[in-house]
Amino acid sequence: MQAHTRPVIIEMHGIGKVFHAGSIECQVLTDVHLAVRQGEFVSIAGPSGCGKSTLLSLMGLLDMPSHGEFRFRGESTEALGRAERARIRNRHIGFVFQAFNLIDDLSVADNVALPLSFRKDMPTRDRARRVVEALGSVGMAHRMRHYPAQLSGGQQQRVAVARALAGDPSILLADEPTGNLDLHNGETVMTLLSSLHVAGRTICMVTHDDRFSSMADRTIRLLDGRVVDESSYRQSQSEAESGLDERRHSASFP
């Protein structure tokens, strides 16, 4: 199937997100329009605090937008209740976080099996098979009986990817998956995500590392909660850098 005719998994029209802290309103996302099609590998980039994690949590139905329309797999999400959102997350969305978020008291195999235990549509024997397959797909099947603390950071993140994949989700959402890893382990996890993409997975990944965002098919750039095009993004980067130069300059020549 041609890439541009594949089904749209994530579709946002005029999405806004406002947080309230007492009487203070904070507009974190403004008028976001975007779409992610099946099989795409999209990165979301932008400076710290620009709204990347907020956007990913809306995509993952962890939070609801304040404005606009969000369609997931072609269906409006507006009227979904908490339980329905949880069911869609469990069935269709795999999450990978910067801090791995594995449960220390559970073995690697039990960590990966945990989300499957909420899947009433899946026979128990299928769950065990899925766990082995998911761990195999990230090269961690030989560590099934280990506990998270016995693994390196890179290995823990690979287990977290296996946990995200075990339920065969429609999309994998990863928020700075290399953020807690050294360069070598970061590259290993990125190579893994790339190979999952080549195998057909739909992936949306937040990163502020340009080396890693360039591994995606395309990059959505966020600035102050708005999606911007490449040239405005570059311009704001160079303005920020020249501002820094001026500050350095005035610091050395008061």
Ligand X SMILES: Nc1ncnc2c1ncn2[C@@H]1O[C@H](COP(=O)(O)OP(=O)(O)O)[C@@H](O)[C@H]1O
Residues that bind Mg ion (CB under 5 A): 52-53
Residue where the block lists tokens 């749209």: 8
Cβ-Cβ contacts under 8 Å for 53 (sequence gap 6 or more): 175, 206
| CB of 252 vs ligand X, minimal distance in Å | 30
Binding mask 95-134 for ligand X (x = CB under 6 A): ----------------------------------------
Residue 54 interacting entry, from ligand X, Mg ion, none, C-beta within 5 to 8 Å by type: ligand X
| CB of 54 vs Mg ion, minimal distance in Å | 8
- CB nearer to ligand X: pick between 160 and 222: 222
Q: Is 48 in the site for ligand X (CB under 6 A)?
A: yes
- CB nearer to ligand X: pick between 54 and 170: 54
| CB of 161 vs ligand X, minimal distance in Å | 20
- CB nearer to ligand X: pick between 48 and 252: 48
Residue 64 interacting entry, from ligand X, Mg ion, none, C-beta within 5 to 8 Å by type: none
Q: Is 52 in the site for ligand X (CB under 6 A)?
A: yes
Q: Is 45 in the site for ligand X (CB under 6 A)?
A: no
- CB nearer to ligand X: pick between 116 and 216: 216
- CB nearer to ligand X: pick between 28 and 80: 28
CA distances to 26, 55, 65 from 18, rounded to whole Å, are 5, 12, 8
Quote the CA–CA distance of 186 and 193 in Å, as a whole number: 11
- CB nearer to Mg ion: pick between 97 and 233: 97
DSSP the chain: --GGGSPEEEEEEEEEEEEEETTEEEEEEEEEEEEEETT-EEEEE--TTSSHHHHHHHHTTSS--SEEEEEETTEE-TT--HHHHHHHHHHHEEEEETT----TTS-HHHHHHGGGGG-TTS-HHHHHHHHHHHHHHTT-GGGTT--GGGS-HHHHHHHHHHHHHTT--SEEEEESTTTTS-HHHHHHHHHHHHHHHHTT--EEEE-S-HHHHTTSSEEEEEETTEEE-HHHHHHHHHHHHHHHHHHHHHHH--
Residue 65 interacting entry, from ligand X, Mg ion, none, C-beta within 5 to 8 Å by type: none
Q: Is 28 in the site for ligand X (CB under 6 A)?
A: yes
Site size with ligand X, rule: CB under 6 A: 12
Q: Is 21 in the site for ligand X (CB under 6 A)?
A: yes
Residue 28 interacting entry, from Mg ion, ligand X, none, C-beta within 5 to 8 Å by type: ligand X
Residues binding ligand X (CB under 6 A): 19, 21, 26, 28, 46, 48-54
